[in-house]
Amino acid sequence: MAPFSPTATPPLLRIADLRKSYGQTRVLHGVDLDVARGEVVTIIGPSGSGKTTLLRCVNFLETYDQGSIAIDGREVGYRDGAARKLRSERDLARMRAETGMVFQSFNLFPHLTAAQNIMLGLTKVRRMGSAEARAKALHWLARVGLADKADRLPSELSGGQQQRVGIARAVAMEPKILLLDEITSALDPELVGEVLDVVLSLAADGMTMLVVTHEIGFARDASHRIVFMADGVVNAEGPPAEIFGPDQTSERLRGFLARFSRAHRL
Amino acid sequence: MLAQITYAIPFLIPGLLVTLEVSVITVVIATAIGVLLGVGLIYGPAPLRWVIRGFSDIIRGIPILVLLFFVYYGLPLTGLNLQPFAAAVLGLIVFKVAQVIENVRGAIGSIPKGQMDAAKSIGLPFPERLAYVIAPQALRRFLPPWLNGVTDAVKGSALISLLGVGDLMFDIQKVVGRTYSPLTLYCFGAFLYFLINYALSLGSRALERRFSYIRD
């Protein structure tokens, strides 16, 4: 992917010194990460390094203990200031609508058709009329190649199709940033491609994305920048050429990539 | 024997109606309260959860008869003196609420956690998440066991005759007292209770079948 040239504007997403523990287990130990508007940033790293937790914090599906996450300068989850007062339920919901999330296990609403899955947020959160919402849902279903599946229940769709509906559901809300959490991990290998193609086309449109993935090849081809997380901190980051290049200085990252390529016969 | 039954039927109808009336009142009120408390048990703040958990565990551990006697004979000592009918309905409601709480807990608990995450991520506030994502999915898991549990309320209602409420059981005993034909009449009474409850379990099974086509 073409190198990303950030503009002078402040980053869309700014994560500073983010810390979180589950009881005695520290998951995030001070993560700093900025994502510029239109940038595609991919997070890789071993299991348990805090990748998914970080993503869930950005959508405030998890609370965090210290540090800050701001989207467009607005603090996520807590009201600005040192007091760290939790936002009201309505306020949290409004903030969450600014970020779209796609899940590893799809999490489509099983009682709603593909189109209804997409329309729910449009009608109840964006307050669209149902005809307008349906038109928009159909537009996005067509965009992910599922125009003919609009009135199917998720149980009637393949995994790859379900995940494409999941992407359409998130993107139709026109979020400022799209969060992708290992979205191909639950898919049969032959279905991975159709999902990643959709993600690539969104990236080409300039959608800002923060991606957690085990698809190293996809990370290399689709990201402007790769972040390597280990033990709850950002261990290394840079453009793909640098991350995978021979001059990479992080021992931890080189070890991870070496183990990874052995496991995947790359 | 048939003569005994045809003789008894007119005397049993008022009691049968009382049994149905008590059951319907109990189930309607207990379901409304139980659903609210069940939602509180799952999503409420910790102290509320403890109170509801404690209530449900205690009530489900007490025989209905003890509950009914407590309400009718015990509560007057605290100044709450209820008529037999009101005491009977109150006792049955308390019993049934605890059951409905567990029905709700089971139904909502069986929904994968990712559903709540997905509903949050598209920006739905809590009441909307409950109404449009959780409730429709929980309903199909709630209805079959709930309808099945309604039979417990109908069966349990036979005990209210012991408080002097003129239900079906009460009327059966009156007729037995006059005719000295306990075998025939208790069999017929059992048959009437069975009819009501069998209809309910058929309904429960039909609901289960109806909802089974939705997979997760």
Q: Give the three-state DSSP class for B165.
A: coil
Neighbours of B78 (CB within 10 A): 7
pLDDT band at B34 (very low <50, low <70, confident <90, very high): very high
The pLDDT tens digits for B56-110 are 999 999 999 999 999 999 999 998 999 999 999 999 999 999 999 999 999 999 9
Q: What are phi and psi of B137, to 5 degrees?
A: -80, -35
State both tokens at B165.
């409420």
Question: Chain A within 8 Å of B121 (Cβ-Cβ)?
Answer: yes
Average per-residue pLDDT in chain A? 91
Chain A: give the shortest CA distance to residue B114, in Å. Answer: 6
CA trace torsion A40, A44, A47, A48 (10° rounding): -70
pLDDT band at A8 (very low <50, low <70, confident <90, very high): low
Q: Of B123, B132, B137, which is closest to A96 when you measure between CB atoms? A: B123
Give B133's contacts in chain A (Cβ within 8 Å).
Answer: 109, 120
Q: Which residue has the tokens 């509801």?
A: B52
Q: What are phi and psi of A239, to 5 degrees?
A: -65, 155
Question: Chain A within 8 Å of B115 (Cβ-Cβ)?
Answer: yes
The pLDDT tens digits for A20-75 are 998 888 999 999 999 999 999 999 999 888 999 999 999 999 999 999 999 998 88
The ipTM value here is 0.91
The pLDDT tens digits for A133-185 are 999 999 999 999 999 999 999 999 999 999 999 999 999 999 999 999 999 99
Q: Which amino acid is at B133?
A: V
Give B 126-185 residues with CB within 8 A of chain A.
126, 128, 132-133, 136-137
**CB–CB contact B114 A107 (8 Å):** yes
Nearest partner of A37 among A219, A204, A211, A207, judged by Cα: A207
Q: What would you measure as the largest C-alpha separation in chain A, in angstroms?
A: 55
Query: Which pTM does this prediction carry?
Result: 0.87
Q: Give the three-state DSSP class for A233.
A: strand
- List of residues 6+ apart from B47 with CB closer than 8 A: none
Report d(CA A88, CA A140) in Å as an integer. 31
CB of A45 closer than 8 Å to CB of A235: yes
Q: Which residue has the tokens 């089974």?
A: B212
Q: Is B162 exposed, middle or buried (0-12, 13-18, 19+ CB in 10 A)?
A: middle
Give B214's contacts in chain A (Cβ within 8 Å).
Answer: 110-111, 153, 155
Q: Is B3 exposed, middle or buried (0-12, 13-18, 19+ CB in 10 A)?
A: exposed
**Rounded CA Rg of chain A:** 18
Report d(CA B116, CA A62) in Å as an integer. 12
The pLDDT tens digits for B161-193 are 999 999 999 999 999 999 988 999 999 999 999
Question: How many helices, marked H, and strands, marked E, lie in chain B?
Answer: 9, 0
CB of A218 closer than 8 Å to CB of A185: no
CB of B184 closer than 8 Å to CB of B104: no
Say how many CA atoms lie within 13 Å of B178 toward its Cβ: 9
Tell me the C-alpha to C-alpha distance, in Å, between residue B86 and each of A45, B72, B89, B99, B150: 65, 9, 5, 20, 19
**Per-residue model confidence (pLDDT) at position A3:** 64
CB of B53 closer than 8 Å to CB of B98: no
Choose from B115, B122, B130, B211 for mutation: most chain A CBs within 10 A: B122
**CB–CB contact A120 B137 (8 Å):** no
**Residue A236 forms beta bridges with which residues?**
A228
Report d(CA B152, CA B146) in Å as an integer. 10
CB of A9 closer than 8 Å to CB of A37: yes
Tell me the C-alpha to C-alpha distance, in Å, between residue B101 and each of A99, A187, B207: 35, 37, 20
Give A111's contacts in chain B (Cβ within 8 Å).
Answer: 136-137, 214
Choose from A56, A71, A95, A107 for mutation: most chain B CBs within 10 A: A107
Q: Of A56, A90, A121, which is closest to B122 when you measure between CB atoms? A: A121
**Residue A29 forms beta bridges with which residues?**
A19
What is the rounded average pLDDT of the residues A88-116?
94
Q: Give the three-state DSSP class for A27.
A: strand
Neighbours of B90 (CB within 10 A): 19
**Angle, helices B168-179/B2-43, rounded to nearest 10 degrees:** 160
Question: How many helices, marked H, and strands, marked E, lie in chain A?
Answer: 9, 10
Q: Which residue has the tokens 């992910």?
A: A144
Length of chain A: 266
Nearest partner of B203 among B65, B52, B27, judged by Cα: B27
Question: Chain A within 8 Å of B113 (Cβ-Cβ)?
Answer: no
Nearest partner of A43 among A204, A256, A264, A228, judged by Cα: A228
H/E segment holding residue B48: helix B46-60
Give B215's contacts in chain A (Cβ within 8 Å).
Answer: 110, 155
**Per-residue model confidence (pLDDT) at position B215:** 53
**Per-residue model confidence (pLDDT) at position B216:** 46
CB of B185 closer than 8 Å to CB of B175: yes
pLDDT band at A260 (very low <50, low <70, confident <90, very high): confident
The pLDDT tens digits for B115-166 are 999 999 999 999 999 999 999 999 989 998 899 889 989 999 999 999 999 9
CB of A168 closer than 8 Å to CB of A141: yes
Give B 83-112 residues with CB within 8 A of chain A.
112
Please tell me which residue, A253 or B214, carries the higher pLDDT value.
Answer: A253
**CB–CB contact A94 B123 (8 Å):** yes
State both tokens at B83.
């008529």
**Residue A229 forms beta bridges with which residues?**
A234
The pLDDT tens digits for A216-239 are 888 988 899 999 999 999 999 999
